[in-house]
Structure 1
């Protein structure tokens, strides 16, 4: 199978910023408590912006950086659990707003915080069967819609935003060698559906999810390194899902990753689920820290339970 590489990235976040001090006015907490336990200081929440608005603006930026026009796109996937609608999908609305071709697959993918990685692997497969060799992958969430403001353990965590990547499939390029897994669990992390009769609030067993994450991250990293025959030294940058700064710090210490090879933006955005990884990629590209030839090991984990990792490159 021919592999894919990233041609360009983009992002969009709401203007409204919610600080830890703002959170302290809603629930019993304070800036030190939140920062020490999570690394989060701010998060962006939608006020006037829609999910579609975030997707469109992130995608336009990615297309511009990639030098790719909408008519060249062969497939569009939006990884999300919080679209404006169940039907039409966020991807179909994105197709409409961008004027993407009508003879291509456009659909949403729900793998929670691992969604962008699942979507990248799915896109790699789709483009191998498509006459058009560019794909649009977006991770986007408006998690502020799902917050239970009486639950101190979860309301402090989540933010809204979107990140996008335009990828290209070309003969001779290596596969991203995605390693993915799932284990059904509706107790550790849950967002009820419309038929349950429940309010659509996120609920989470924080301590158990943390334990799951600190086990899943190294397992994913080891699996991809083994599959590709690479070592930590062969990787230019490590991109982690931004769920908790302590989870990232544990992985960094375990693998002796130098500061110049990893990045944390959780202090600014909080946990943005499927948008988390592409937001990091977009910021790193804009900062000039990754670009053509860069090799990145990307790791995600989340509700489902789901987990995954891949070795991706910039074209």
Structure 2
């Protein structure tokens, strides 16, 4: 088995950062009415700016595939060219289409002029880590000498007002208040667009920071907990999900079936507890000493969870001091599958890393509560 190193990282964030006050200028007003929930949600999530692949007419400026390709192109230099690339592994929640695969579309955007191996991981926040793991294992096994792994999202196109106006109109006809359900509106004020890319190789790069990948672990708790975050379906009273394919096409619009939704009560109950449980399992499995971890990058969807996550980790004997934590949520927003890559790229290029230090990555996924973590060594 080969050692595997992250030798370069790249980020692409579309257009200019957008402030809280500008959000509805880009996403639009549902039922031509300013959101009453927006201020509360933003106050809790602590996000101050984010990025949208949209203009102020709610028109797209980039596809997800284009955002992803831009991040990949940032990896190319005199040491690693398009001709050198062997494997493209992409993870996203928000692919531009159901088929073809997201990685296939990104390969088309890159104009490499050659055939390569591609892999697409779908799901929610862990799809980026799944893509990372595919590349890691391929290089480790010697199947490939390098792999480009990308996490990306283009959530903004899912959140524009026109996607919800049919539901609001339906509520009017039913003589209900024409306000979309909180489980749908909640995520309109949480999510952001962007992509982060990692280059994995079987040797570290000379005269620059490289990160050796020690391990990547995954844990699912779907056997214990029902779905919390979902799209293309509707949650039933017994917790089951009814597929979009089992609704009529009229109901797709009236009930915003394809909107991304979240059960915030389940989120509060399980997201931190199961995250700490899974990380403790990895520390025991690899016989790790918490005191020897130098940097922690934990993806969180909202600043609301920041204090609670530290407390839950501490309950499991993982009491990391605040100076070791690295966050960029408030500046870039929640970019789902891309968040951990984008934060890692910032840390790699910050000048803060020193040879021999350990970097811990932690990623939760509230879909049906799945978690991943990875340990990296600076070299």
**Superposition TM-score tier, normalisation by shorter sequence:** 0.7 to 0.9
Shift of 1:129: 4.2
Q: Cα distance 1:34–1:227, how it changes in 2: closer, same or farther (>3 A)?
A: same
SS in 2 for 1:183: coil
Q: Cα distance 1:297–1:192, how it changes in 2: closer, same or farther (>3 A)?
A: same
**In structure 1, what is the equivalent of residue 41 of structure 2?**
34
**In structure 2, what is the equivalent of residue 51 of structure 1?**
64
Q: Deviations over 1:34-77 (max 9, x none)?
A: 3442122222111112212211121122344x932233333211
Tell whether the 8 Å contact from 1:23 to 1:30 is kept in structure 2 after alignment: no
- Once residues 144 and 342 of structure 2 are traced to their aligned partners in structure 1, the CA distance between those partners, rounded to angstroms, is 26
Q: Cα distance 1:280–1:44, how it changes in 2: closer, same or farther (>3 A)?
A: same
- Once residues 73 and 304 of structure 1 are traced to their aligned partners in structure 2, the CA distance between those partners, rounded to angstroms, is 34
**In structure 2, what is the equivalent of residue 123 of structure 1?**
135
**In structure 1, what is the equivalent of residue 262 of structure 2?**
204
Tell whether the 8 Å contact from 2:150 to 2:197 is kept in structure 1 after alignment: yes
SS in 1 for 2:222: strand
Candidates 105, 113, 118, aligned match of 1:106:
118
SS in 1 for 2:198: strand
Candidates 214, 218, 221, aligned match of 2:272:
214
- Once residues 313 and 71 of structure 1 are traced to their aligned partners in structure 2, the CA distance between those partners, rounded to angstroms, is 28
SS in 2 for 1:112: coil
In structure 2, stretches of 5+ residues that fail to align are 55-60, 162-179, 205-211, 234-243
Tell whether the 8 Å contact from 1:299 to 1:308 is kept in structure 2 after alignment: yes
**In structure 1, what is the equivalent of residue 156 of structure 2?**
144
Greater gyration radius: 2
- Once residues 86 and 285 of structure 2 are traced to their aligned partners in structure 1, the CA distance between those partners, rounded to angstroms, is 28
Shift of 1:285: 1.8
In structure 1, stretches of 5+ residues that fail to align are none
SS in 2 for 1:282: helix
- Once residues 288 and 281 of structure 1 are traced to their aligned partners in structure 2, the CA distance between those partners, rounded to angstroms, is 12
Residues 1:181 and 2:220 aligned together: yes
Q: Which moved more, 1:14-23 or 1:196-205?
A: 14-23
Shift of 1:213: 1.3
Shift of 1:79: 0.4
Q: Which moved more, 1:1-10 or 1:72-81?
A: 1-10
- Once residues 135 and 5 of structure 2 are traced to their aligned partners in structure 1, the CA distance between those partners, rounded to angstroms, is 11
**In structure 2, what is the equivalent of residue 268 of structure 1?**
331
Q: Which moved more, 1:91-100 or 1:40-49?
A: 91-100
- Once residues 113 and 153 of structure 2 are traced to their aligned partners in structure 1, the CA distance between those partners, rounded to angstroms, is 24
Q: How many residues align?
A: 312
Residues 1:74 and 2:115 aligned together: no
- Once residues 240 and 267 of structure 1 are traced to their aligned partners in structure 2, the CA distance between those partners, rounded to angstroms, is 13
TM-score by length of structure 2 reads 0.73
**In structure 1, what is the equivalent of residue 310 of structure 2?**
252
**In structure 2, what is the equivalent of residue 5 of structure 1?**
5
Q: Cα distance 1:112–1:101, how it changes in 2: closer, same or farther (>3 A)?
A: farther
Q: Cα distance 1:177–1:13, how it changes in 2: closer, same or farther (>3 A)?
A: closer
Residues 1:191 and 2:249 aligned together: no
TM-score by length of structure 1 reads 0.87
**In structure 1, what is the equivalent of residue 189 of structure 2?**
156
**In structure 2, what is the equivalent of residue 15 of structure 1?**
15
Judging by fraction of residues, say which structure has more strand: 1
Shift of 1:120: 1.8
**In structure 2, what is the equivalent of residue 87 of structure 1?**
99
Q: Cα distance 1:203–1:101, how it changes in 2: closer, same or farther (>3 A)?
A: same
Residues 1:280 and 2:346 aligned together: no
Shift of 1:103: 4.8
